[in-house]
Chains A and B, each alone.
Chain A
Amino acid sequence: MRMIDANTMGTPAVTSGAVPAPALKAEARALDFFYGEVQALRKIDLPVWENRVTALIGPSGCGKSTFLRCFNRMHDIGEGRNRYHGEIVFHPDGVDILHRSVDPIEVRMRIGMVFQKPNPFPKSIFENVAYGLRVRGERSRSAIADRVEAALRDASLWDEVGDRLHDMAFNLSGGQQQRLCIARALATSPELLLFDEPTSALDPNATANIEDLINRLKEKVSILIVTHNMQQAARVSDYTAFMYLGELVEFGDTNVVFTNPKKRQTEDYITGRFG
């Protein structure tokens, strides 16, 4: 296993004004990904800064979700010969989480994920949030109850469901279900949270709630978010990466990428000329 010292990584390529440079949480290095023989990602280098929101934007099929799913090894599930080349180094450990010595389950225990479509389990609200704790073997009822409440509060859902924790999760509205899924991910205190187009199935109100939540959550957790909505990327993220055809075209401070992109493709995409 290759160990990397986080301190040698240098400062972020772009720092946002007076804010001190954050620490590095994870970093993709020359990452290639293949679905069987089809190469979906090409030589991607991307830093993920601690307590910051990094947005991945790009047209459909550009590989942004594929890239996101490398971070929690979701490509390891199911059939087919999916291959990773390159590294994703996770800090502060300095471990390449794609290395064969790494257990994908351990990766997923520290890197949470929220999906495009709310996907609560066929269980009560309480049991949905407690799921990660139970899977980790937590048995103390009071510890579980405390963590469930804290996670629901962090996900701004406690006020709405605190008095009906034992209702089925399917009875919640779409926006509430998505916040439940966020609470579920938060309950196990992940260090990095992956969002895969978390608002694409939600109405504008619910979307605004989730965006508020993301803005607040970054105090606790580093966030990597895929979105097809450029306004959303501009609203919630500190850094933006523009991907196209499996390559990372441009990465930088969100304000810079949106107001003064360096690459022509980025400019064309964010001004709506294609995509």
Chain B
Amino acid sequence: MRADVTELPVSIPIPTGAALAAAPVNRFAHRRLRHVGELAIEVVLFAAAFSAVAVTVAIVGILVYESAAFFSHVPLVDFLTDTQWTIMFSEKHYGVAPLLAGTLVTTTVGLLLAIPVGTVTAIYLSEFAGARTREIVKPVLELLAGIPTVVYGYFALVMVTPALQFFMPELPGFNMLGPGLVIGIMIIPYVSSVAEDAMRAVPVHMREGSYAMGATRLQTALRVVVPAATSGIVAAYILGISRAIGETMVVAVAAGQQPNFTWDPREPGATITAFIVQVALGDLPHGSIEYQSIFAVGLVLVLMTLSFNLLGHLARKRFREAY
């Protein structure tokens, strides 16, 4: 048998009986070079994965650090309860409520448009459209997501608002309704594309089970496919909400940039993001209260999206289907 063994491509010479007795060689010892190579690759992979985490931690750290400076001047209670945000004026009020209301109003208007339209689009593309229709409609929809948001901003200002004024003559030129609707249009592709992927992932045999019971396409779509895809559809909505909350240019351009504590979308307003742009573009001294304030409101923004992501995560766990 020994003659056969020596033919194996083993670099370490196989000790014969006498040599083995004289100088014991461990043929199963670690190969140093192999381990170095593996380790190097592992380090590179870890660094790549860790960089994203590190950046996130750094951003949150800076937000918290600068916010702490802000809250050493402004009591947290004022920040949360005051209903005016007049940080650029001589008589300063530090209530985040107007910015928060602006964000919530534009987001809500956007979602009221994007969630129904996006869901219906997803159902149509997944369950009704033929392959050719889908091949045309999907890329066009995804093109919507590729348009720079500043273009959407001008679209809101010079097209949508004037169009709305045709029906509501008293609507001011800057308002939250127009930008809210445009945000809705902007996030339709996000909602529809993720929701459609979730619906198409529902196995064919589940659809066939429904058809075999005499169900129509619509019944199958609404009673079987949508419930089966709930977790993915919720994920689509959460993605849409996060995009809407974080949207900046549309509201900065078309909503008026006036911190205005109102829940009426017809009025002008400013969102958290629009305010940050406004301040960040001005030449404010580093360390001033105005400068620090953008970190405080930025922290609020991060907390909002974070809580929506958590909610989405919980919802996905709740509705996850094991098919």
Contact = CB atoms under 8 A, between A and B. Distances in A.
Interface of A: 72, 74, 77, 79, 105-106, 108-109, 112-113, 115-117, 119-123, 131-132, 134-136, 170, 181, 184-185, 188
Interface residues of B, number: 24
Given A79-B131, A121-B224, A121-B227, A74 B213 contact: no
Contacts of B230: 122
Nearest to A133: B213
A132 B210 CA distance: 8
Contacts of A72: 212
Interface stretch (B70-78, B108-116, B201-209, B269-277): B201-209
B217 to A, nearest CB: 9
A135 B213 contact: yes
A121 B209 contact: yes
A131 B224 CA distance: 10
B227 to A, nearest CB: 5
A105 B206 contact: no
B223 interface: yes
Contacts of B323: 122, 170
Given A116-B205, A119-B209, A135-B213, 16 more contacts: A74-B211, A74-B212, A77-B211, A108-B212, A108-B214, A115-B209, A120-B209, A121-B224, A122-B206, A122-B230, A123-B227, A131-B223, A135-B210, A184-B209, A185-B213, A188-B213
Given A122-B321, A122-B323, A170-B323, A117 B205 contact: yes
B214 A170 contact: no
Contacts of B322: 170
Contacts of A119: 203, 205-206, 208-209
B229 to A, nearest CB: 9
A134 to B, nearest CB: 8
A116 B212 CA distance: 13
A115 B213 contact: no
A178 B230 CA distance: 24
Contacts of A135: 210, 213-216, 219, 223
A131 B228 CA distance: 15
Given A122-B321, A131-B223, A184 B211 contact: no
Contacts of A109: 214
Contacts of B206: 119, 121-122
B13 interface: no
A265 B237 CA distance: 58
14 contacts: A72-B212, A74-B208, A74-B212, A105-B216, A113-B212, A115-B212, A121-B210, A122-B230, A122-B321, A135-B213, A135-B216, A135-B223, A184-B209, A188-B214
B214 A122 contact: no
Contacts of A113: 212
Most buried by A among B131, B212, B216, B219: B212
A170 B206 CA distance: 12
Ranked nearest first, the 6 interchain pairs of A and B with the lowest CB-CB distance are A109-B214, A113-B212, A119-B209, A108-B214, A132-B213, A122-B228
Nearest to A181: B209
Nearest to A113: B212
B130 interface: yes
B212 to A, nearest CB: 4
